Amino acid sequence: MAWFPLATGRGAGGPVARGLLLALTLAACATTPPTGEEAPGSYPRRSCETFLFARPESPVQRVSVLGSWDGWMLPGTPLEPHPYRPGWWVLGIQLPPGEYGYLLQEDGVSLLDPRNPLTTFRGSDEVSLLQVEDCREASVEIEESRRAVPGAIRLLGRYTAAAQGGPLKEVTARIKDRVLRVERLDGATGIFEVAGEGFARGRHTVEIVAGDGAGHEARARPGVWVEPAAARWEEGLLYQVVVDRYRGNGGVVLKPPPTPGSRAGGTLDGLRAEIERGTFEQMGVTAFWLSPAYRNPDGAFPGRDGQMYEGYHGYWPLNSWGVDPRIGGEEALRAVIDAAHRRGMKVLLDVVPNHVFIDNPLFQARKGQGWFHEVNACVCGFPGCDWGTNLQTCWFTPYLPDVRWQNQEAARFQVENIRWWVETFGVDGVRVDAVPMMPRAATRQIARALRQGAPKDDPLFVLGEVFTGPGPDGIAQIRYFLGPHTLDSAFDFPLMWALRDAVATDRSGFDTVEKILAATDEALEGSGAVRAPMLGNHDVTRFLSVAAGDDGNDPWAAQPPRPSNPNVFARHRLGLALVLTLPGMPVLYYGDELGLPGASDPDCRRVMPAYEGLPAEEAASLDLTRRLGSLRRCSAALRRGTRTPLLVSRDGYSFRRDADGETAVVLVAKGEGPISFTLPAGSFRDALDPTHPEVTGSLVVEPFTARVLLSASNGCF
């Protein structure tokens, strides 16, 4: 059944409204059902009726809806056959503004609305979520953000009048004290366009007020980019920072903490200093993922391993609002975001909607009220509380109460809290922690809230942590959470495990890597999702230590010496080369650019060493990262090209990427001896070592070596 909940009742006529019914097959728009030719002079405005449309896939006698608005009264409110659309059913109902649960029924069989991505819960049962806006208020949507000219801002918006309001008559738009021109204003359609020039590089918040000149107004505050380092997320390079472990104030290199679970003293100002030094521009970084900024508790608490940990990582929200002063507070966060934005780099904040610290005022105020999983609560992975059965209800630790997303008030609080962080600090999106530990309703509600008010062609980015094991099961778990109504991207754990087996340990070959890539391509087709390849992150052992064979060391024992075997670093560089040349948005965990070692958490979170004075092998890894990062920013083929495998074997792997008439060829080899690769037609040069002569036909590659070839005429050398 195709089913469309129309939450805001927009559109009482005019050329925009006349075309909306067709659009209903694509998205849940809001309009009254068309009645034929609308009256001259009509314009888009809200109706105070919410219209529900349905189109059963097979003939039925009765279509009805059960809703929380009348206490789920049986047999439900019937829909009527649509008078102008054969096969469609329609119901108009007046509801006060708010959120409602509902189920549709076909001949008495209750169903979730398959076309409405939003859901909530009736007890433990999932039901569709209907969000009804206030018809007495006008609204503004930003349809398009155009960036054709450097330094210019141009927005196309749409105004929908209040139910009793008049057509659009006036628009003002400003960025701080600068007023934008109104270049288009059409009362009949509600369309307007504003523009301005001469803006500095970075993200600018546009304050828009649109109204009918008679007291009805609507406001919007979209963030608009000028000259981003990457035009699209999938063309960029994301750098992950655990703030406490990266740098101290002014960029000071940190000393190791007293224990692996203690604070090291890293700050947001330390990251700002490295940004301003140009460290990340050298690596081609286009965006940052910052560890959570919430205030965390003082003192140390027992971890799952019995060791004592401080909340240096940010994942124990003691307060849901405000930045921890130990990493610099709110002004330091604004300063690091501003420093990144001025260089075209975007910022994702890590948000933690799954749980809070037990002393968080939210838990203290709402415990015992159904906002948290408290009845029969258990700690994940402990005896009698296996992860599989209790994943969405168990507590990480006895001091981290698990939010009960089945309670819509709790869900609404968490969503609004995330929106507060995004709007208050002007970031470009979020990384959502522990996605599988919440119902999918959580990420869908978060994504919907963040996309409202943002330009439709440049929405805020929602990246999720869907931690999985290797293989097809991991791909399926990730795919479940991806799509146009939920996560834009999730970390590619199945590829990470495959790269570790093929490159770091030789447990498998490149043929396994290609199988994972092909299976992921098939699974994600049509989802619009951005792939996020990586070597590792803060929850797994470091790739370098896997290659060295010391990843199983006790993270609380004395650290083994940093690896010195050249083959270990060669394997690490091979992994880097693949992650940075495969399609998607590579995620570079701090320290991976130079080969920082580390066993399991917390050893994988060592302090970041200085970039200067590195041993030769680490310096070579950093140099490779910089070369590949710069190549990605220069080469359209490496940023967004399609991928075609050329040679796939256990020890040899090559693929080409093509975009805008440009070709890049990536060759990687391992094993005991050199491997000969056949090249596509044309003349190529090695972009990693331009001193090599041009090659045609074939190329021999030594073991544990990567070559990235571009057409000899390419301007990226």
| C-alpha–C-alpha distance, residues 362 and 493, integer Å | 33
Q: Give the separation between CA 386 and CA 634, rounded to whole angstroms.
A: 48
Which pLDDT tens digit goes with each residue over 126-179?
999 999 999 999 999 999 887 778 899 999 999 999 999 999 999 999 999 999
Calculate mean pLDDT across residues 297-315: 96
pLDDT digits (tens, 9 = 90+) for 72-116: 999 999 999 999 899 999 999 999 999 999 999 999 999 998 889
Q: What percent of the chain has pLDDT over 90?
A: 85
The pTM for the full model equals 0.93
pLDDT digits (tens, 9 = 90+) for 564-618: 899 999 999 999 999 999 999 999 999 999 999 999 999 999 999 999 999 999 9
**What count of other Cβ atoms lies within 10 Å of the Cβ of residue 53?**
24
Average pLDDT, the chain: 92
Report CA-CA distances (Å) from 413 to 295, 352, 366: 18, 13, 11
CA 690, CA 682: separation in Å to the nearest integer?
A: 17
Residue type for position 503: V
Peptide bond into 602 cis (omega under 30): yes
Q: Is 688 helix (H, G, I), strand (E, B) or coil?
A: coil
CA 189 to chain centre: 33
Give all domains of the chain, ordered by start, each with its CATH number. 2-132 (2.60.40.10), 139-226 (2.60.40.150), 641-711 (2.60.40.1180)
Note the pLDDT of residue 13: 34
- Look at the chain and count its residues: 717
> Is 685 or 6 the better-scoring residue by pLDDT?
685
511: nearest Cα among 337, 305, 655, 706: 655
* pLDDT given for residue 292 in this prediction: 98
d(CA 575, CA 580): 9
**Position 37 pLDDT exceeds 90:** no
Running DSSP on this structure, what letter comes out for residue 658? E
pLDDT tens-place string over residues 195-226: 999 999 999 999 999 999 999 999 999 999 99
Kindly give, in sequence order, each residue whose CB lies less than 8 Å from that of residue 588, ignoring residues fewer than 6 positions away. Answer: 237, 238, 239, 240, 283, 285, 534, 535, 579, 625
From residue 610, how far is each of 254, 287, 622 by CA, in Å? Answer: 9, 21, 12
pLDDT grade, residue 383 (50/70/90)? very high
Q: Average pLDDT in the 266-285 region? A: 98
φ, ψ dihedrals at 246, nearest 5°:
-95, -65
DSSP secondary structure, 604-619, as one string: GGPPPPPSTT--HHHH
Give the pLDDT confidence score for residue 474 in this predicted structure.
96
| Confidence at residue 34, expressed as pLDDT on a 0 to 100 scale | 40
Cα separation of 438 and 392, whole Å? 5
Q: Which H or E run includes 242?
A: none
490/466 Cα distance (integer angstroms): 6
Q: What is the pLDDT of residue 460?
A: 94
Per-residue model confidence (pLDDT) at position 23: 29
Interatomic CA distance for residues 498 and 534, integer angstroms: 11
d(CA 234, CA 636): 12
Closest CA to 707 of 622, 627, 594, 592: 627
| pLDDT higher than threshold 70 for residue 238 | yes
pLDDT of residue 21: 29
At 41, the pLDDT band (50, 70, 90 cuts) reads low
* 27 band by pLDDT with thresholds 50, 70 and 90: very low
Phi, psi of 125 (to 5 degrees): -90, 135
Q: What's the average model confidence in pLDDT over 324-351?
A: 98
For the beta carbon of residue 148, count every other beta carbon within 10 angstroms.
6
pLDDT tens by residue, 493-533: 999 999 999 999 999 999 999 999 999 999 999 999 999 99
pLDDT given at position 31: 36
**Between 1 and 150, residue with greater pLDDT:** 150
Phi-psi region at 584: left, alpha or beta (left = phi > 0; alpha = psi -120 to 50): left
Contact 637, 657 (CB under 8 A): yes
What is residue 712's predicted lDDT score, i.e. its pLDDT? 85
Contact 270, 241 (CB under 8 A): no
Of 645, 701, 656, the closest CA to residue 682 belongs to 656
CA angle in degrees (0–180, nearest 5) for 285-290-292: 170
Residue 8 has pLDDT above 90, yes or no: no
Phi/psi region, residue 403 (left: phi>0; alpha: psi -120 to 50; beta: rest), is: beta
According to the model, what pLDDT value does residue 564 have?
Answer: 86
